[in-house]
Structure 1
């Protein structure tokens, strides 16, 4: 059974508020775990079924498996460092062949971090306040090497965010304690991202869909597509016309004079910016 997930709104700065529970934001992908009469089905937030991708999640430590739906995040945790590795998680997600999935399960097992329970024993729990659902979740879900409940901290989001920064985690999520569960984006659930910042050089731009080519320390670092205001685009193209050096079918290349500050989730293994967002030009 798939139930549409409740989605987050965004806030730029951490905050504290006695009306909220605060949780670390797990850097994996959203997963709806459904068990009907002992049969497990796993779905992404977009209703893509991924049951076959994660066989280690087929035996959830739940007190009663007749009718359960959990919401959470699936992630890969490096056993040596304890760090959450998003790229390894995505490698697991994209596997399709059974033998490769089995090998990956043994070598790089995933973990399901449950943060909500939507159904249990035939009862729809989405109309209950978050605090009640958390109490039920913690009462029926056990923990083992593949399953655990997400830690929640009442009231003090700023202290939790500082822990997230110190440990280089993705961010925090703030949830109103009295929030019911709705299958859409809702202002009662808020994310605050722990961004990394860097100054890059714009070495060109894409001819079709919008995108600026970014360089860092003289090497390609990705494409800036997000959060560029119209006035900054206009200023960029006004300057770019005078510093064009070459072009091909897809890109126009520039003398790398224009500098920009970007924020992004993290550096990838091959030195690329993950999901870069434009902040401002560097003068």
Structure 2
């Protein structure tokens, strides 16, 4: 099995400003995890469903083995805005090649070079993500 659980949001009851935290843009899509820990790259939902066959264009990313990326699968409208209805249509369809292209917007790296990096500070994980995103035929990086 090559699934790694994503880090999920926690609840905060009041606004705060702390340099140890960052804010991420909320994208209207489906949470996705890209894993190249096993025999071949795979995509999973946060609920551990293998969705590799639905998004075959995303598992051909030019990334090294031993990587787990956490992000959002997003379908955009003609103006470039996330379209959740189109995203769900793509997710539910068996004919993915006839539907709009899905982008993988990555906001975190959980494994790098077959090693968990989850305990590293987010700034260090963002630096790893920056290096990975410079690979041609890669992925979109969120802010």
Q: TM-score range by the shorter chain?
A: 0.7 to 0.9
Q: Does 1:76 align with 2:91?
A: no
Q: Which residue of 2 aligns with 1:67?
A: 66
Following the alignment from structure 2 to structure 1, what is the Cα–Cα distance between the partners of residues 105 and 127? 16
Give every structure 1 segment of 4 or more consecutive aligned residues whose post-TM-superposition deviation is greater than 6 Å. 143-146
Counterpart CA distance in 2 for 1:74 and 1:143 is 19
Whole-angstrom distance in 1 between the partners of 2:119 and 2:138: 28
User: Please, what is the CA RMSD of the aligned residues?
Assistant: 2.2
Match of residue 90 from structure 2: 92
In structure 2, list runs of 5 or more residues that go unmatched. Answer: none
CA shift digits 1:110-135 (9 cap, x unpaired): 00011111112122111211111111
Alignment of 1:128 with 2:120, yes or no, is: yes
Aligned twin of 1:148:
140
The TM-score normalised by the length of structure 1 is 0.46
Higher RCO, Cα 8 Å, sep 6+? 2
- Is the 1:5–1:71 contact (alpha carbons within 8 Å) kept by the matching residues of 2? yes
**Aligned residues of 2:6 and 2:70 also touching (Cα < 8 A):** yes
Structure 1 Cα separation of the partners of residues 86 and 135 of structure 2: 22
Taking structure 2 as the reference length, the TM-score comes to 0.88
Q: Deviations over 1:215-252 (max 9, x none)?
A: xxxxxxxxxxxxxxxxxxxxxxxxxxxxxxxxxxxxxx
Equivalent position SS for 2:81: coil
